[in-house]
Amino acid sequence: MSERAAITQAVRERAHSLGFDLVGFAPLDAPARADFFRWWLEQGYAGEMHYLHRTADARCDPQQVLPGAKSAVVVGLNYAPAVPIVTNDPSRGVFARYALGEDYHEVMTQRLRQLLEYIRQLRPDCQAKIYVDAGPVLERDLAWRAGLGWFGKNTMLIHTRRGSYFLIGEILLNIELEYDQPAFGGCGTCTRCIDACPTGAIVAPYVLDARRCISYLTIELRGSIPEEHRSQMGNRVFGCDICQEVCPFNHPRPHAPERASPTYEPAFAAREITVAPKLVDLLRMREEEFRTAFRRSPVKRAKWRGFRRNVAVALGNSGQEEALQVLQQELIHETDPMVREHLEWAIERCATRPRSSRSS
């Protein structure tokens, strides 16, 4: 076995010992989907995620990120929850599965640092960069080339045996390694994700208009949610998993029983507040309570005002008598114009529903 192959195998074994479910290696040449990414930006599909435009050149050229870059160690960590996700009770909020527990950025970065320490024991001269969903790299492209999964029509990366409920992180290195083959697979004629998306965000197979995506609307968007999408959000207050929930690859089969199997990662265990919380309780939370409840949680990315905006919309969609009362109470004291707008919309939506359709 060559030194390069030996190091690759040792790193793979160490990554698994650190708890990563998937590990792969890819060369750091030009991303295969660079042209598609630039086209996607030109269509305006990134919405207000201006950082994607600012970092476009670096994302399409790894040498701008790490001069002399040659290899990427790409890892995947399962986050499928062990608790059932209640989505059919309009009085209770729904959080994206990855946001039920601790912030995955912190969890994965800490482990990738441990992995890098090990790599430097093998190659003390190596230079490296660690990223977890926050760096100027085309992360899913890297993961595909490292064999972790293939692109689904919902644009998620899908592992044939494990599904798509896994998070991605990577270490960029200036040393050569042995590389895995790109993942092979496909959706066939299935269009369940496209058909199920309530906002029509998947505008074509493999093309997502983020401006319509509930995840974008509840997390990345800082201003007002377009009215045409508010009723389509239902009771989702942070993120959305609909296009993954309907995907056949996220449902166990006899030949793939591990699909969407619950994570064994303690940090991803659901917090009480993220498991079907009452929407009225979420809206009554004060800012300090929000910060305490979602400390070290991905939910903090929405910010306090964005979270209240999301909850107000969900309460408006619930149409319940108790929701109307709480919305009216909160409007009295709310000073943020953007949040007030959504509270007023929710009040009108609740108030104009037939009384018989409301329940407390």
Domain membership flag for residue 64: yes
- Give domain status of residue 12, yes or no: yes
User: Domain for residue 156, yes or no?
Assistant: yes
For residue 301, name the pLDDT band (cuts at 50, 70, 90): very high
Q: Which of 139, 173, 207 is the last residue of a domain?
A: 173
Q: How far apart are CA 144 and CA 159, in angstroms?
A: 9
Residue 162 domain flag: yes
In a domain, 232, yes or no: no
In this structure, are 10 and 142 located in the same domain? yes
Q: Over the stretch 107-143, which tens digit does the pLDDT of each residue have?
A: 999 999 999 999 999 999 999 999 999 999 999 999 9
Q: How many domains does the chain have?
A: 2
- Whether residue 314 contacts residue 279, with contact meaning beta carbons closer than 8 Å, is answered with yes
Same domain? For 283 and 151 the reply is no
**Percent of the chain predicted with pLDDT > 70:** 98
**Which residue is associated with the tokens 């009215």?**
227
pLDDT at 22 over 80: yes
Q: In this model, does residue 357 exceed pLDDT 60?
A: no
Pair 153, 24 in one domain: yes
Average pLDDT over residues 38-42: 99
H or E, element range at 32: none
Query: 13 and 161: one domain?
Result: yes
- The answer on 48 and 168 residing in a single domain is yes
Q: Which of 130, 152, 173 is the last residue of a domain?
A: 173
263 found inside a domain: no
Rounded Cα–Cα distance for residues 196 and 193 (Å): 5
Contact 306, 215 (CB under 8 A): no
Name the pLDDT band for 360 (thresholds 50, 70, 90).
very low
CATH number, residue 355: 1.25.10
In a domain, 67, yes or no: yes
Low-confidence winner among 7-11, 12-16, 42-46, 253-257 (lowest mean pLDDT): 253-257
* pLDDT tens track for 191-202: 999 999 999 999
Residue-wise pLDDT for 52-110, tens only, equals: 999 999 999 999 999 999 999 999 999 998 877 878 899 999 999 999 999 999 999 99
Residues 154 and 289 grouped into a single domain:
no
Q: Look at the block and give the residue holding tokens 């109307």.
A: 324
In terms of domains, do 32 and 162 share one? yes
Instruction: Say what the pLDDT of residue 356 is.
Output: 42
Helix, strand and coil percent figures for the chain, each rounded to 5: 45, 15, 40
Residue ending a domain, choose from 173, 201, 218:
173
pLDDT digits (tens, 9 = 90+) for 260-276: 788 989 999 999 999 99
Sheet architecture: strand order including 22-27: 22-27, 71-78, 166-173, 128-131
Structural domain containing residue 351: 278-360
Q: Are residues 23 and 169 in the same domain?
A: yes
Give pTM, 2 decimals.
Answer: 0.94
Closest CA to 172 of 206, 134, 137: 137
Active-site annotation, residues: 133
Residue 180 lies in a domain: no
The strand pair at 236-238 and 94-95 is best described as: parallel
For residue 359, is pLDDT > 60?
no
